[in-house]
């Protein structure tokens, strides 16, 4: 078994359903840095957990770049 070093970093992956590379650029244009592409998960955005203020800024920009998708159902 390998040696584990203490870690102060946390992150999560968000499946965005499309190529993450242009999305990373959109975040950068809005002043928010997110993680690099993470092959082979090229439809996942890597997000480091920050302060509540940083996470609020991330969420606001996330919603502007990737608005909620409408879903429809059919009854029948």
Q: What is the pLDDT of residues 24-40, one digit of tens each?
A: 999 999 999 999 998 99
59 within domain boundaries: yes
15 within domain boundaries: no
Tally of structural domains, the chain: 1
41 within domain boundaries: yes
| Alpha carbon distance, N-terminus to C-terminus of the chain | 55
pLDDT score of 69: 72
Q: Which residues of the chain have pLDDT under 50?
A: 76
Task: Tell me which residue range forms the domain holding 50.
Answer: 34-66
Question: 15 in helix, strand or coil?
Answer: strand
21 within domain boundaries: no
Provide φ and ψ at 64, rounded to 5°: -75, -30
Is 18:68 a contact under the CB 8 Å cutoff? no
42 within domain boundaries: yes
6 within domain boundaries: no
47 within domain boundaries: yes
């Amino acid at each position: 078994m390998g040696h584990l070093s203490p870690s102060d970093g946390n992150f999560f992956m968000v499946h965005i359903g499309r190529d993450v590379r242009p999305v990373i650029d959109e975040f950068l244009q809005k002043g928010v840095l997110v993680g690099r592409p993470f092959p082979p998960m090229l439809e996942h955005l890597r997000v480091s957990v920050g302060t509540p203020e940083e996470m609020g800024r991330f969420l606001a920009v996330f919603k502007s770049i990737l608005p909620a998708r409408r879903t429809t159902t059919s009854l029948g």
